[in-house]
């Protein structure tokens, strides 16, 4: 087994499928099956999911909302996505726990590091909701922070692109894909992997980031089996 404990970072937009907003039940089901496959192999899985399919704090602030209020709205959107993903994973027969950085006891447990680790050790999928619980921080930062706290081996950043390229592969067909790249090279080349706060936090704590196409069936399992999928960012 290549990794024992992973943190899977998903964007909220990934849950839209082909829709313009909201959640696509088929995409949700596909992701749940991918996650089930690696849990059945004995991998401990934690998940952080964004809320961009429902509400983006930055976009709300640019439209006249107070930034702090807008960010809290975004955090609540991540909880909605977390509940949806929890339901889909449990439909596959895998036990889960949703832990949130903002207390809402009726629907989720409050985030406590020891509790999260205990759930992982019992084979449960742990979903972290509400970001860091603080405005001005993205879910990328929340993902890195939680990964460090639970001693994850790697952050698996699931995207719609199959890795990191020298430029946007959807706009430039001659863009070069990197199989492996250092943190320093990402910075010097000005490549967009995560927001700077999250990326710096990951580098300082020697936490590798693997960027891959989450929408290609079987990719998640191939990564855990040691196959070279996507792009690995490491020191």
Please count the other Cβ atoms lying within 10 Å of the Cβ belonging to residue 51.
26
Q: What is the pLDDT of residue 170?
A: 80
Q: What is the pLDDT of residue 115?
A: 97
The count of domains in the chain is: 1
Q: What is the pLDDT of residue 232?
A: 96
| Sites in the chain below the pLDDT cut of 50 | none
Q: What is the pLDDT of residue 45?
A: 98
Q: What is the pLDDT of residue 35?
A: 97
pLDDT digits (tens, 9 = 90+) for 143-169: 999 999 999 999 999 998 899 999 888
Q: What is the pLDDT of residue 85?
A: 97
Reported in sequence order, the residue ranges of 54-137 that DSSP labels E, i.e. its strands, are 96-100, 109-110, 125-129
Strands 164-165 and 177-178: antiparallel
Q: What is the pLDDT of residue 112?
A: 97
**DSSP 8-state assignment for residue 64:** T
Cα dihedral sign for 102, 17, 219, 209?
A: negative
CA distance 18 to 206: 36
Q: What is the pLDDT of residue 156?
A: 98
Residues 6+ apart with CB under 8 A from 38: 6, 45, 220, 221, 224
Q: What is the pLDDT of residue 171?
A: 86
CATH of the domain at 168: 3.40.1160.10
pLDDT digits (tens, 9 = 90+) for 130-144: 999 999 999 999 999
CA distance 146 to 157: 14
- Expressed as residue numbers, the domain containing 66 is 5-234
Mean of per-residue pLDDT scores for the chain: 94
CA distance 107 to 110: 10
CA distance 173 to 186: 20
Q: What is the pLDDT of residue 1?
A: 57
Q: What is the pLDDT of residue 198?
A: 95
**What share of the chain has pLDDT > 70, as a percent?**
100
């Amino acid at each position: 087994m290549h990794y024992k404990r992973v943190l899977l970072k998903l964007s909220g937009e990934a849950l839209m499928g082909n829709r313009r907003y909201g959640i696509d039940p088929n995409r949700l089901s596909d992701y749940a099956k991918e996650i089930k496959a690696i849990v059945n192999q004995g991998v401990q899985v934690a998940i952080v999911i964004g809320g961009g399919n429902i509400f983006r704090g930055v976009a709300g602030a640019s439209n006249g909302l107070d930034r702090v209020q807008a960010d809290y709205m975004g955090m609540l959107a991540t909880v909605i996505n977390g509940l949806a993903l929890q339901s889909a994973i449990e439909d596959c027969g895998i036990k889960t726990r949703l832990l949130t950085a903002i207390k809402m006891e009726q629907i989720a447990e409050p985030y406590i590091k020891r509790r999260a680790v205990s759930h992982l050790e019992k084979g449960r999928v742990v979903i972290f909701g509400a970001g860091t619980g603080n405005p001005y921080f993205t879910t990328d930062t929340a993902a890195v922070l939680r990964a460090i706290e639970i001693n994850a081996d790697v952050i698996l950043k699931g995207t719609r692109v199959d890795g990191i390229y020298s430029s946007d592969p959807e706009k430039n067909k001659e863009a070069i894909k990197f199989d492996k790249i250092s943190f320093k090279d990402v910075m010097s080349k000005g490549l967009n992997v995560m927001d700077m706060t999250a990326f710096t936090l990951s580098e300082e704590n020697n936490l590798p980031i693997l960027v891959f196409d989450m929408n290609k069936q079987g990719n998640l399992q191939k990564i855990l089996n040691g196959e070279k999928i996507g792009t690995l960012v490491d020191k």
